[in-house]
A and B are shown apart, each in its own frame.
Chain A
């Protein structure tokens, strides 16, 4: 049997690419990628934005850790238990249903109608407050959970999960009571981990909490990212946003111009990533991740040549807050401080990048893993620019002029990734394209088998037939050349980047 190399979808220019094969042959491909958009609207309801973030992360293989329940208050500045024309204490509205709560004095009064919830007063303000809490928890049990916060406040916590609770309106009378409509409902999600999915490698995991109640600026989308018990608070700029995610990372971008009066005009970029760790290359490294954000400053992305981003790096137990640079965060790749690097035909190269971060045990940074679903290109690009490579869509997440380069992440977008045209994103290096034709609605995650040595050739007549690879059966979907073959379903992660596996095809 000829020896072959199975490779993931990311592939540098051609059948064998030097950096990866120089290391371990492994390609860091996650099982899921997703792309999403949302709007963070000034003065508007941004609950749908939190929902979009949740949905995109779930599609990318994250799990829902818990809903964040909306909460609000009922405030009685003068105490509880007023009757007479001041008896209305709470007006609760949700899903089109309004429930009004009124106090009455049972010593001489009776409820006068059945359209309201009548609450008997107690002998004291505290007793009346307690009675109201009990009444709310009985009659509005499907909407809120009431509890005593302090002598003048009742805390109302939404029962509808997550952002649904943000639509619960709490009204007071304006005199005896003041209502604070519930807010801050959202979602908390956790990324997967390499060690869970691959059985080895990185243990780093992120928790993202997406709500709409950042301190000091209500109703705006607020993302809190936690890694290794350290939380980064990121209040999003108003505008339209795009996000890319896979099982181990997420990136958020706002490319729109900022709005006048927005206090967070520079908070337009957030990228959190847990890296792929190859234990053979990085023994002793079990935790490797970073969180990159603008810190509400006029900074830019780069691959290490300046920029000014605020980057929290986590390397085993060592945490540092740094920026792009030689002894901060950077991408390691082919490097020339002359002109941009090109292949022999004059096209920019595709290179698998390594992430360098402060390692803690030495003043310098070290290569601490690879970004999943990512390649570096030796040419500049615009942020979020699209490209099609090997039947998958990628978007630019960082770029720099000198040394020239950009970073691209697979988005999971399923579009027409066939021949470059006015409606299709271009191939970054056409000579390395392994396939043509529309992807359409099909799963873009196909396996790619590349023949490196041997005399047998792949044949286009095999399309639609069964091929056995390393004991598993797959259907051939394309044969772009005599040495490259695409198949579905995607291979198990153990085959990604494997070299020397056996295959057979029976006509």
Chain B
């Protein structure tokens, strides 16, 4: 299988932080170590600029606030588009895993499967966009493209779904509107007034075309005869509007793939000559896997966004 690769790719563990400011500082350093550049210093943190191998840009604000840090993507090309501000709750006892590359990141707590009510994971960045093929010609000019997933707020009862807990189901409740974001050419996927869990960015799942049963015991894992799993590209997709509009593939997540096995997070594996770690925790339909190690330019291959 061909992967969209953005290098260098570094996994680092951050622990023993003394304050949200300390955590923010360490995350900023991790971003900068793989190529993000300081665009501006802002109160409590910094605006960093990421660049994809295709040359697309995005800004990422990492800011320390009371009891947490926040992460937000926004336009680096002047469109004014801004994503959601995700909280990552801070505590001195917490440790974090940060996987970063020049145009993307996945930050989570290894001991939490995305269910912390106060924010424990954020993933986002710029995807690979179709190029040098018929689809790219039909797509036209892309000026910017980026996405982000994470929890939304300190809620005493609910947590928002994200690829940490589910690769494709969005938030469940109206109070979580707008926390899974996608932007293309300055246009945000419509994220307000949503009550449908599917009207949000999703990483496209491969599974039975039969309707999901609400009872897990009446579904079938998308596994091969013999229990092998399918490995396939992580396509990031979102609809243009609300109310069941077509789910349009926007691009392929860098340094990532999906596997249809039912997996707990933080599992390590080596395949196709690369080192991986599972990001999604115990989702019935499969998991998002992220590159955990480096990938040299020689191992970079044509990304197959199906085009």
Contact = CB atoms under 8 A, between A and B. Distances in A.
Interface of A: 12-19, 21-23, 281-285, 288, 302-306, 315, 324-328, 330-347, 349, 354, 356, 359, 363-368, 376, 400, 402-403, 405, 430-433, 452-453
A232 B307 CA distance: 42
Contacts of A302: 209
Contact of B208 (A331, A345, A453): A331
Contacts of B2: 16, 21
Given A326-B212, A336-B204, A431-B134, A341 B246 contact: yes
Nearest to A15: B133
Interface stretch (B21-29, B43-51, B64-72, B228-236): B228-236
Contacts of B226: 282-285, 366
Interface in B222-255: 222-228, 230-233, 235, 237, 239, 244-251
6 contacts: A282-B224, A285-B225, A343-B307, A344-B248, A345-B139, A366-B223
B152 to A, nearest CB: 19
Interface stretch (B93-101, B116-124, B195-203): B195-203
A339 B239 contact: yes
Contacts of B221: 364
Interface stretch (B73-81, B83-91, B298-306): B298-306
A16 B306 contact: yes
A303 B227 CA distance: 22
Contacts of B227: 366
Interface core residue of B210, B237, B305 (most chain A CB under 10 Å): B210
A448 to B, nearest CB: 15
A330 B209 contact: yes
A333 B306 CA distance: 14
Interface in B125-183: 129-130, 133-135, 137-139, 168
Interface string B204-215: 111111111100
Given A14-B133, A285-B226, A326-B218, A331 B209 contact: yes
Contacts of B219: 326-327, 364
A72 B57 CA distance: 82
Interface core residue of A18, A285, A346 (most chain B CB under 10 Å): A18
Contacts of A326: 208, 210-213, 218-220
B161 to A, nearest CB: 14
Nearest to B304: A16
B42 interface: no
B297 to A, nearest CB: 14
Those 5 A-B pairs whose CB atoms lie nearest each other, nearest first: A338-B198, A304-B210, A431-B134, A14-B307, A364-B220
A336 B237 contact: yes
A284 B228 CA distance: 11
Nearest to B211: A305
Interface of B: 1-2, 129-130, 133-135, 137-139, 168, 196, 198-199, 202, 204-213, 217-228, 230-233, 235, 237, 239, 244-251, 285, 302, 304-307
Interface core residue of B139, B208, B251 (most chain A CB under 10 Å): B208
Contacts of B248: 341-344, 346
Nearest to A303: B209
A375 to B, nearest CB: 12
B302 A453 contact: yes
Contacts of B225: 282, 284-285, 288, 315, 359, 366-368
A359 B202 CA distance: 30
A324 B304 contact: no
A426 to B, nearest CB: 16
B1 A431 contact: no
A22 B239 contact: no
A416 to B, nearest CB: 22
A339 B129 contact: no
A332 B208 contact: yes
A363 B219 CA distance: 9
Contacts of B222: 332, 356, 367
B246 A335 contact: no
Contacts, number: 204
B239 A338 contact: yes
Given A326-B218, A367-B225, A341 B212 contact: no
Contact of B205 (A305, A335, A344, A453): A335
Given A344-B129, A367-B222, A337 B211 contact: yes
Interface core residue of A335, A344, A405 (most chain B CB under 10 Å): A344
Given A336-B204, A340-B247, 18 more contacts: A16-B306, A22-B232, A282-B225, A282-B228, A288-B225, A306-B210, A334-B205, A338-B196, A339-B245, A342-B249, A344-B250, A344-B251, A364-B219, A364-B220, A366-B220, A366-B227, A367-B225, A432-B135
A333 B230 CA distance: 11
A15 B1 CA distance: 14
Nearest to A324: B210
A304 B219 CA distance: 12
B242 to A, nearest CB: 10
B247 A338 contact: yes
A354 B229 CA distance: 13
A340 B246 contact: yes
A363 B220 CA distance: 8
Nearest to A14: B307
Contacts of A324: 210
B306 A336 contact: no
Given A339-B244, A452-B302, A356 B208 contact: yes
Contacts of A367: 222-225, 230
B181 to A, nearest CB: 16
A14 B306 contact: yes
A343 B198 contact: no
Given A364-B220, A402-B211, A333 B135 contact: no
Given A326-B213, A365-B220, A366-B220, A341 B249 contact: yes
Given A343-B248, A346-B248, A333 B206 contact: yes
Nearest to B231: A22
B231 A339 contact: no
A312 to B, nearest CB: 17
A343 B237 CA distance: 9
Nearest to A358: B220
Given A14-B135, A15-B307, A339-B245, A325 B206 contact: no
A344 B168 CA distance: 18
Nearest to A348: B246
A351 B230 CA distance: 14
B237 A332 contact: no
Contacts of B1: 18, 21-22
A345 B209 contact: no
A331 B209 CA distance: 6
Nearest to B307: A14
Nearest to B244: A339
A278 to B, nearest CB: 10
A281 B130 contact: no
Contacts of A306: 210-211
Nearest to B142: A344
A373 B246 CA distance: 27
Contacts of A343: 130, 135, 248-249, 306-307
Contacts of A327: 218-220
